[in-house]
Chain A
Amino acid sequence: MGFIEFTNTSVTYPGGLVALRDVTLTIDEGEFVVVVGLSGAGKSTMLRAINGLVPVSGSVLVDGREVVGASQSELRAIRSDVGMIFQTFNLVNRSRVVNNALMGRLSKVPRWRSLLGLWPAEDKEIALQSLERVDIVEKAYIRASDLSGGQQQRVGIARALAQEPKIILADEPVASLDPVTSHMVMRDLQRINQELGITTLINLHFLDLARQYGRRLIGLNDGVVVFDGDIADVNDEVFRGIYGRAITPDDLLNEK
């Protein structure tokens, strides 16, 4: 499980701006897909179409469940199977690391338990195990704000893992990290994809990172999919199609 099917999917924001245009493609279970494109091309919009955080039309099937027109509780059910990782980590800074990880369990426990903060032992165990998986469990009872950027992003990954998701969406997960930490986090994500078989979609800014870790690449330009194929096939011409110009050192993390 964990496949995603876009059929004539479009996203139109309230102001009338069409950020995603008529996308039709399928992502199979267990794939590791990298999405690239200029700023404003619609990368974040594409990820958010999958968990229904943006106004989407056409059809998006997640695991066979339709996102377009889903009710609030159907949406919550879909979202609970889709972990999301953010560029700015989006942790609750004042809360402890373990509580941030437990947020991934919110949709899985009875509401009265989450209301009183009486987490079942199994859910605490899952949260701690996901912290272990990204090697940050020794910070479990420290405030999230007291961690370094790379450590915070690992907590962000642990929060997504605690959902026991079928799909992980990572929106520029390394854009606010230094090169060394970026590679650590990318390796964590790759390992999770390989070991747990979780379908993974990552938005990236740097092309070499995409080449190093990705297999399949989706190129977006102004809301339109202009490339979808093996990352090895990306040549200067393809690149020009996505970015409208030739490759510069700015597009490569390792050149910086």
Chain B
Amino acid sequence: MTLFDPETQVRPVEPPRAVHYLLPLAVGIIATGVVSWAGPVGPLWGALVGLATFGVLFWIDVTKHWIDAVVLVVGGILGLSFFDWVLAARTGPIDFKLSLVAAIGWLIYGAATGFVVYRNRPGYRPTIIGYQALAWGGGATLALFTATSMGVLAPLNARQIGNGEIQALTVGLFVVTGLSAAAVGLGANLSLATRLPSLFAGGVVLVLTVMAYNEIQFSTAAIATQMTRIGEIADDFWPPVWKWPKSLGQPDTFNIIQPFIETFQIAIVGAVTGNLLALPLAFYASRMTSPSNVAYRIAKGFLNVVRTIPDLVWGIFFATAVGFGNPFAGALAMIMFSLSIMAKLLSETVDSISIGPLEAARASGATHTQVIEYAAFPQVKPNYVAYSLYIFELNIRASVVIGFVGAGGIGRLLNERRNFFQWDQVMAIVIVIFVSVLLIEWLSIWARRKLV
């Protein structure tokens, strides 16, 4: 019996929403950037940042209490005063460690924002205080550190930062990122159920490989006679050499990191941009959601053309267009690569969504964009996230390869060392690529499993 009885109805508490975490954080990172750029500016800025955050929280209906404005302003003043004090008391240039210490001020402020959200939203656990604190502290560290190393904060620096220092700091940052990535990857703890199919697949591959070897007359006898050669080759490759002079007469340095980060950046820029661009395109390229037949044909035709061009050709094309060895060329090639895969996968997924919700949204007077966002996109969202991770994985590998044809990154370095016959250095590079691809694959598998 469901006769309407308002007395017995209990409204549940709204569970946490991403926007409550992200918006204050975005304000924080922008505010931190502005404040660090402006130099030591005193507690007034802290009060302003507090008011700005309160404005955002007010606007998204988290709090309407003035007492929270006071909490945020006091938090801002405390936090920024600490930040300023650390920067003013420094003796050397601003390095990663100093950025980290100074960011404690922002950590305090983040805790204040987390507290305000926690106090006003019954659905939140106290952990949001910690999350916000860490996020603000982390954001501030990165903002300060990046601004310093990019030279934006030159007036703040006692002296120019040397090249070696920047490299050391970058390495430090990289190590931290790598370690946390590794921790998450290990934490994934793949169950036996996921390992069994891969073992089986491994077995199949093994059998096929043996058969293929047979096919090309690969006999074990030949290997045996070549054994001595293998020893020689192994001698060339092992042990790996991690350091070599950048150019003649210079001291040995660790040269892999810079191009490796470049490859990573190419992959990220390519995947993120390509996946975002593919989003509207995929909906245009499906009959289900295309605004018109003409739009459908144009989108589909464009995708067919883009897809027939392999990533290597994109690499060569953009390397010629924007400059040989330029990472920008690699990024452009990876954008086209990601775009074509994502748009194809996603538009095929969109083809199979149920049309009912689309009709319901249309019948309520929604615009075409709203129909797609609210009725179509939610139906393919998990697929979209899973494809994004998968494409990022592909991008890492592909961007290594296109480095060979002049699109920057670690592929360029690998090619260069190979041309010098520096096999032991090539080995070091290969190890770095191998380990990182493996790590990213673990991470991506783990994240995709979480989604389903």
Contacts and interface: CB of A to CB of B under 8 A. Distances in A.
Interface of A: 51, 53, 75-84, 86, 88-95, 99, 103-104, 106-107, 111, 114-115, 117-118, 121, 128, 132-135, 137-141, 154, 156, 159-160, 163, 184, 187-188, 191
Nearest to B361: A103
B19 A138 contact: no
Given A82-B363, A103-B366, A104-B364, A140 B356 contact: no
A183 B382 CA distance: 37
Nearest to A128: B11
A80 to B, nearest CB: 3
Contacts of A80: 364-365
A54 to B, nearest CB: 11
A187 B374 CA distance: 29
A107 B366 contact: yes
- Report whether over half of chain A's contact residues are helix, strand or loop; otherwise say mixed: helix
Given A94-B379, A137-B12, 5 more contacts: A53-B362, A94-B382, A95-B374, A111-B367, A132-B4
A86 B364 contact: no
Closest 6 CB pairs of A and B: A80-B365, A107-B365, A90-B356, A79-B365, A90-B360, A106-B366
Given A135-B4, A138-B12, A184-B2, A53 B357 contact: no
Contacts of A99: 374, 378
B165 interface: no
Contact of A138 (B6, B10, B381): B10
Interface string B1-24: 111111001111111000100000
A138 B19 CA distance: 23
Given A79-B364, A84-B364, A188-B2, A138 B9 contact: yes
A114 B423 CA distance: 57
B4 A133 contact: yes
Q: Which bucket holds chain B's interface residue count?
A: 35 or more
Given A114-B374, A117-B19, A134 B2 contact: yes
Nearest to A107: B365
B61 interface: yes
Contacts of A137: 9-12
A160 to B, nearest CB: 8
A135 B4 CA distance: 6
A122 to B, nearest CB: 10
B276 to A, nearest CB: 14
A135 B6 CA distance: 8
B369 interface: yes
B60 interface: yes
Contacts of B365: 75-82, 106-107, 163
12 contacts: A80-B364, A82-B363, A88-B356, A90-B357, A92-B357, A92-B374, A93-B379, A94-B382, A103-B364, A107-B364, A114-B373, A114-B374
B180 interface: no
A89 B356 CA distance: 8
Nearest to B11: A137
Contacts of B361: 103, 106
B416 interface: no
B369 A111 contact: yes
Nearest to B370: A106
Contacts of B12: 137-141
Contacts of B381: 94
Contact of B364 (A93, A115, A138, A163): A163
A53 B359 contact: yes
B375 A103 contact: yes
Contacts of B3: 187, 191
Contact of B2 (A81, A94, A135, A159): A135
Contacts of A118: 19, 60
A159 B14 contact: no
Contact of A135 (B5, B15, B367): B5
Contacts of A133: 4
A115 B369 contact: yes
B367 A76 contact: yes
Nearest to A136: B2
Contacts of A138: 9-12
Contacts of B61: 121
A141 B2 contact: no
Given A86-B356, A118-B19, A159 B375 contact: no
Interface in B341-398: 356-357, 359-367, 369-370, 373-375, 378-379, 381-382
A115 B410 CA distance: 39
Contacts of A76: 365-367
Which of B60, B366, B375, B382 has the most C-beta atoms of chain A within 10 angstroms of its own C-beta? B366
Contacts of B11: 128, 132, 137-138, 140
A81 B369 CA distance: 19
Nearest to B375: A92
Contacts of B357: 90-92
B364 A106 contact: yes
Nearest to A115: B373
A213 B10 CA distance: 29
Which of A78, A94, A156, A163 has the most C-beta atoms of chain B within 10 angstroms of its own C-beta? A94
Nearest to A120: B61
